[in-house]
Structure 1
Amino acid sequence: MTFSREEFVGAMRRFPGAANIITTGTGDSRAGFTATACISLTADPPQVGVAVNRTVSSYPQLVENGYFCINTLASDQLELASRFSGPIKGAQRFLEGKWTELKTGAPVLEGAVVNLDCKVTNRLELSTHTLFVGEVVAARQAIDAKQLLYVDGDWASLLPATGRDVAGVMDGIHTVTSAVERASRLSDDPLANLEAFVKEWTKIYTTTEAVTQKYMSAKLYVSPIDLQALNAAGREFDDRLTALLAQGVEAGCLEAADPRLTAYAISGLVGWIHRWYRPDGRLSPEEIGQYLAVLVRKMVSCSDKTETSGSRTGVI
């Protein structure tokens, strides 16, 4: 049996990597992108490798300039990791962060765990990517900084959680678990109860934005005992939300072939708030809750699906 691309991608998602910003160029010609495919090659001479997809917007500058800097990100530089992998391109990406240079002239990020300033000595074309071999000509380290990692399609951190961190997250889980329990008893209409819960859940997430940003944007390491307790609390919440959905399915007003999988989908929808919500943003928590409640209704309401598609295909 042939080992498929999907199997390989799935396996590599489990392979943790340091989050880096690869930079090149000067002034208005600066370019950079977020990457995890960086490796140490040899110590004598000091060489590293960076695998770059040839469709990356910074690829032409990297080839032309012949130098680059690997800036390994610290756990508090998550927003830069997202900025350098998002829609903003070119020198505009450098409007955030503090940038200097070492020897080649490539942009060097202040506060990074390590900066490796390199001149390109070789390029190897490998299918869709090019492996840039760089000789390290200068380096700098931030001894106290903790690395930002990327694994399972999300950011993680080597930063250990404090007792206060764990307590804050646990309190948040208990709060939303209580909210779903209250919502299940609001009325005899499971759909209305689910919408009410989504709105309250959104309010909880936005009012505890500082906690959710810290824990969920870059997951903290916790002790095995704390991790076991957090996972148990999370499973209890999943069970309560699944039960609320199953109640609606049994009553005939919600459509979900797999209530637990649907609960996970709703959790992902609301839980993603931590990625983009800001207290000074253009939408209030109430408005966000209303929008999300409408999306959830469209996901699970039998009447909405009949009106919009006339069928039940594609329902989770």
Structure 2
Amino acid sequence: MQLIASRGGEARPAAPVSRTDYRDAMARLAAAVTIVTTDGPAGMAGFAATAVCSVTDSPPTLLVCLNRESSAHPAVSGNGVLCVNVLEGRHEALSGLFGGKTPMPRRFEAAAWRRAATGAPMLDDALVSFDCRIVSTCGVGSHDILLCEAVAIAGGDGEGEGDGARPLLYFGRAYCGIAAAPGSPEH
């Protein structure tokens, strides 16, 4: 039995959380938008993702969640490598391509890519890219949770800080950005 605390601090049984209530609540959690890519013997694929986060810096590891029904799932699982490309505001249309039903070749034709050390496509103008090998997978519900060790990073080295780069965020079921910091040249 799941318990929650009432206003008086007493524990009482919790009602099950519905899928709709959960999705509505998660829409209130702002998240960075990424494009996760892979290439190798199982083919080239990519998908837009917000379910990406840091796990630890020793070894440098990211967590990536991937729906098992995704068209990218067979390639990601089969290749065992991926690249997490963090997007800027100007990448909104590209994210839309990778988040929809656009055929894989058309997704990649919409931007400039280079090969990462693992062979995964790395977005030329990403805010930062994490080239990774998948070290562990755990299934939960409809998704696989991928633990990915970074073998290389492009960007994110502090160069260009303050150059006006703004990450692409997803909040309230819509894309949004971050306002310029007070005192910045754009403010």
Same fold (TM over 0.5): yes
CA displacement at 1:27 relative to structure 2:
10
Instruction: Tell me the equivalent position of 1:153.
Output: 173
> Which is greater in Rg?
1
| Paired residue secondary structure (1:51) | strand
Question: Matched residues in 2 for 1:108 and 1:28: separation?
Answer: 17
Counterpart residue type for residue 51 of structure 2: A
Counterpart residue type for residue 168 of structure 2: L
Question: Matched residues in 1 for 2:120 and 2:19: separation?
Answer: 34
- Asked if 1:137 is matched to 2:157, the reply is no
Counterpart residue type for residue 97 of structure 2: R
Counterpart residue type for residue 104 of structure 1: T
Counterpart residue type for residue 169 of structure 2: L
TM-score by length of 2: 0.82
Instruction: Tell me the equivalent position of 2:131.
Output: 117
Question: Matched residues in 1 for 2:154 and 2:73: separation?
Answer: 24
Render the CA deviation track for 1:52-86: whole Å, top value 9, x for unaligned. 11011000000000000000001111110011112
Work out whether residues 84 and 93 of structure 1, in 8 Å CA contact, stay in contact via their aligned partners in 2. yes
- Asked if 1:18 is matched to 2:32, the reply is yes
Q: Percent identity?
A: 33
Work out whether residues 41 and 78 of structure 2, in 8 Å CA contact, stay in contact via their aligned partners in 1. no
Q: Which has the higher contact order (CA 8 A, sep 6+)?
A: 2
Structure 2 unaligned residues grouped into runs of 5+:
1-14, 182-186
CA displacement at 1:6 relative to structure 2:
1.2
Instruction: Tell me the equivalent position of 1:295.
Output: none
Instruction: Tell me the equivalent position of 1:308.
Output: none
TM-score by length of 1: 0.49
| Paired residue secondary structure (1:55) | coil
Which of 103, 106, 112 is the aligned partner of 1:98?
A: 112
- Asked if 1:72 is matched to 2:92, the reply is no
Counterpart residue type for residue 176 of structure 2: A
Instruction: Tell me the equivalent position of 1:36.
Output: 50
Greater helix proportion: 1
Query: May I ask how many residue pairs the two structures share in their alignment?
Result: 163
Render the CA deviation track for 1:167-206: whole Å, top value 9, x for unaligned. xxxxxxxxxxxxxxxxxxxxxxxxxxxxxxxxxxxxxxxx
Say what the alpha-carbon RMSD is for the aligned residues. 2.1
Greater strand proportion: 2
Question: Matched residues in 1 for 2:113 and 2:179: separation?
Answer: 24
